[in-house]
Amino acid sequence: MKKSLHDRGVIARYGAFLPVSEATPVVSLNEGSTPLIHSPKLSERAGAEVYLKFEGLNPTGSFKDRGMTVALSKAVERGATTVICASTGNTSAAAAAYAARAGIRCAVILPAGKIAAGKLVQAFAYGARVVAIRGNFDDALRIVREFGGVEGVAIVNSINPDRIEGQKTASFEIIEELGEAPDLHILPVGNAGNITAYWKGYREFQAAGRSAKLPKMVGFQAEGAAPIFRGHPVDPHTVATAIRIGNPASWEGATTAIQESGGGIDIVTDHQILDAQQWLASHEGIFVEPASAASVAGLLKRLSPEATQADSLPRHKGAKIVLTVTGHGLKDPEAPVKHGGFVPIEADADLTAVRRVLDKS
């Protein structure tokens, strides 16, 4: 692959495991190498070592950058002049940024009125053509699929295998950091590309002798957008707009990951998601978007006294649990502001007045 000394992204780090060659022009923003942050408070509650893979610290604020560096590099290598994707917001932000970096056009097809403000701004700022359809993500993806085969156009949704290839590198990083795979990996599930990618990554590193074990993969969907949990497509509704998906493209990949790993698929309510988001920010200093908090909400659900599947949590000494938190909280300020009723306390501009309101709150 044609990489320069400046490249520090996932292709530079894991090119040997990716579909790139000397002929591949690397389109990178130094994505990946995100922190795996130990959570003392979740660890104490779980009786295991709990870590958060904070993917919100990627260049466009979500895990999508890992797949997009590979997808754009390969698209340019194949001569594409335009990339197109359907998105609930993060994929479109990443596609637009990497297309800008590559100097090619980007079109994004989004469900009107259902994209978090920060993500929509990103698509425009990075210079994408933005089309808002009167329909949901699943409708947008149907339209994008119809662009398949159009000369010069590359689809960069996770139905493009290059995306899955890039995203699997998160598993590599976790294994390198922990010395082996964790016992349990929890992540939010929407279109199901990420759970598919993580499982592929864990299996590849195991095959390469880098980890003796494999984790159980447990996915959480929002209660109102839980087609895999329910076993049939649904009309999706959830405050976690990133995972507002009724008919996931990588359904089969998710099923394989869950079955082969002995994991599971479960649901969390919007209320549990927003509570978990606020808890994580105010107790561990990690602010993630609502969809990302589904993994934290999921762990907390399994730890609650009413949990019916608590037995699936690893309880042995030194057990490790990794939660992927997929996107940054700043992308979607509206939902937590509403949920938390966040308003500043007003005060006159003097010390006495400020101390008075601080003492009261």
Q: Which residues bind ligand F0G (CB under 6 A)?
A: 62, 64, 87-91, 158, 188-194, 242-243, 289, 291-292, 326-327
CA pair distance 28, 102, nearest whole angstrom: 9
DSSP states along 235-265: ----S-GGG--SS-TTHHHHHHHHHHHT-EE
Q: How far is the CB of 98 from ligand F0G (least distance, A)?
A: 13
User: For the chain, how many residues are written?
Assistant: 361
CB of 24 or CB of 241, closer to ligand F0G: 241
Beta carbon of residue 272, minimum distance to ligand F0G (angstroms, whole number): 16
Cβ atoms of 188 and 220 closer than 8 Å: yes
Q: Nearest distance from residue 215's CB to ligand F0G, in Å?
A: 17
Name the residue nearer to ligand F0G (CB basis): 24 or 238.
Answer: 238
Query: How far from chain centre, in Å, is Cα 203?
Result: 20
Six token digits for residue 265? 């698929």
Specify the residue, 69 or 88, whose C-beta has the smaller distance to ligand F0G.
88
Q: Cα–Cα–Cα angle for 202, 255, 92, nearest 5°?
A: 75
CA 25 distance to own-chain centroid: 25
Q: Residue 102 or 257: which CB sits closer to ligand F0G?
A: 257
State the DSSP code for 341. T
- Closest approach, Cβ 294 to ligand F0G, in A, equals 7
The pair phi, psi for residue 153, each rounded to 5°, is: -110, 130
State in angstroms the smallest separation of the CB of 320 from ligand F0G.
22
Rounded distance, CA 258 to CA 318, Å? 23
Least distance in angstroms from the C-beta of 64 to ligand F0G:
6
- Residue 100 C-beta: closest distance to ligand F0G, Å: 17
Smallest separation (angstroms) from ligand F0G to the CB of 155: 13
**Paired sense of beta strands 36-38 and 49-54, if any:** antiparallel
How many of the other CB atoms lie within 10 Å of CB of 21? 10
One-character DSSP codes across 90-159: HHHHHHHHHHHHHT-EEEEEEETT-S-HHHHHHHHHTT-EEEEESS-HHHHHHHHHTTTT-TTEEE-STT
